[in-house]
Amino acid sequence: MTSAAAADPTVGELSEAEVLAAVLAQLGPSAAELGPGDDAAVIAMPDGRVVATTDTLVHGPDFRLAWSSALELGWKSAAVNLADVAAMGARPVALLVALAMPDRTRLSFAVDLARGLRDACDTLAPGCRVEGGDLTASDTLTIAVTALGSLDGRAPVTRAGARPGDVVAIAGDLGRAARGLDVLFERFRDAAGTPVAVDPSLLCDDERAALRAQLRPAPPILLGVAAAAAGAKAMMDVSDGLLLDARRLAAASGVTLALRADTLGDDPDLALRGGEDHALLAVFPAGAALPEGFRVVGDVIAGGADRVLVDGTAPSGRGGWDPYRDWDAARG
């Protein structure tokens, strides 16, 4: 074994305890009553209720190692779960992370992924920490994260509270992450369609920003609690594209959402159909003072449930990302 390999062994060459110790060293001090090291964590929730969500990132349909660093994967796996907690109007408290890695995975990869998890929590949801999880071996790299949040005495903000007369608002980017994915598929694959490493020198500033939005999303996590405090009646994380997710909120509330194209940025179609920005879509009472960071993009009107109109017209097609329908196309 070379000296470089000895300094950075594969996880298959180490015990679970050795890998875990290296990972835990990157996560910082626990914020729980009882953190990592026992059979389970003990986490205090002020009003006795827990907001819980989970999301899984799998190599292939969800990320490509040729395009994403371990730091970026750790960051993104935290961010997408923190956004779901925020969309309930809750404060993120803890993450539980299950990591399945091939034996050939270098220890430095697991360490950097843990650093990415901590960096995302520190930046997007201060006070939230990784408080436990699991390590196992797998032929496919898989990152499964469960996020826990506290409502701190407030009612949860669900998808079902929108009513005619309310206003529709967005916090965060729309379409930028989808633009980043387009850049990856268009610029960084070989003739056979296999992903190749990103060369930043080939990109303009706009393309670099789009890649950051795709690989290292920064959802407005703290605005979830701010929206709840401002009286948000319905809210959700825009993960699969505004058109698809707005239809989900409309269906849950039994209303129609009437959006205005001129509020959706320079490329309204990409804003409607692109996913993974993890913006917050919220509905507020008419006349409410919106928290700074939210912008009005439309209104709630009476009509058939599960309907979204843009400038008075129902857009064609399903819109957004569905892993069961779209994965075959993504492999192309």
Query: What pLDDT sits at residue 275?
Result: 86
Neighbours of 183 (CB within 10 A): 21
Residue 160 counted as domain residue = no
Region of residue 306 (left: phi > 0; alpha: psi -120 to 50; beta: else): left
Residue numbers in the chain where pLDDT is lower than 50 = 323-325, 327-332
Instruction: Please check whether residues 114 and 233 belong to one and the same domain.
Output: no
Instruction: Please check whether residues 119 and 253 belong to one and the same domain.
Output: no
Instruction: Please check whether residues 267 and 123 belong to one and the same domain.
Output: no
CATH assignment of the domain containing 211 = 3.90.650.10
306 is in an annotated binding site: no
Whole-number Å distance between alpha carbons of 27 and 81: 17
Residue 212 counted as domain residue = yes
Matching residue, tokens 């827990």: 50
Residue 146 counted as domain residue = yes
Total domain count for the chain? 2
Query: What pLDDT sits at residue 192?
Result: 93
Residue 162 counted as domain residue = no
Query: What pLDDT sits at residue 2?
Result: 61
Region of residue 153 (left: phi > 0; alpha: psi -120 to 50; beta: else): left
Residue 158 counted as domain residue = no
Instruction: Please check whether residues 181 and 313 belong to one and the same domain.
Output: yes
> Among residues 150, 182, 200, which one ends one of the domains?
150
Helix (H) or strand (E) holding 21: helix 16-24
237 is in an annotated binding site: yes
Query: What pLDDT sits at residue 327?
Result: 40
55 is in an annotated binding site: yes
Instruction: Please check whether residues 111 and 184 belong to one and the same domain.
Output: no
Instruction: Please check whether residues 123 and 222 belong to one and the same domain.
Output: no
239 is in an annotated binding site: yes
Instruction: Please check whether residues 87 and 211 belong to one and the same domain.
Output: no
CATH assignment of the domain containing 47 = 3.30.1330.10
134 is in an annotated binding site: yes
Query: What pLDDT sits at residue 320?
Result: 63
240 is in an annotated binding site: yes
Instruction: Please check whether residues 146 and 216 belong to one and the same domain.
Output: no
Instruction: Please check whether residues 178 and 93 belong to one and the same domain.
Output: no
Whole-number Å distance between alpha carbons of 122 and 109: 20
| CB-based contact 166:284 (threshold 8 Å) | yes
133 is in an annotated binding site: yes
Query: What pLDDT sits at residue 8?
Result: 92
263 is in an annotated binding site: no
275 is in an annotated binding site: no
Instruction: Please check whether residues 95 and 231 belong to one and the same domain.
Output: no
Residue 75 counted as domain residue = yes
Q: What are residue 123's phi and psi, to 5 degrees?
A: -85, -45
Using CA atoms of 217, 98, 126, 27 in order, give the dihedral in degrees to the nearest 10.
Answer: -110
Query: What pLDDT sits at residue 319?
Result: 65
| CB-based contact 176:106 (threshold 8 Å) | no
53 is in an annotated binding site: yes
User: What is the domain extent for residue 257?
Assistant: 167-330
> Among residues 120, 150, 180, which one ends one of the domains?
150
User: What's the one-letter identity of residue 18?
Assistant: E
> Among residues 92, 123, 150, which one ends one of the domains?
150
Instruction: Please check whether residues 74 and 24 belong to one and the same domain.
Output: yes
Query: What pLDDT sits at residue 169?
Result: 98
190 is in an annotated binding site: no
Instruction: Please check whether residues 109 and 196 belong to one and the same domain.
Output: no
Residue 279 counted as domain residue = yes
84 is in an annotated binding site: yes
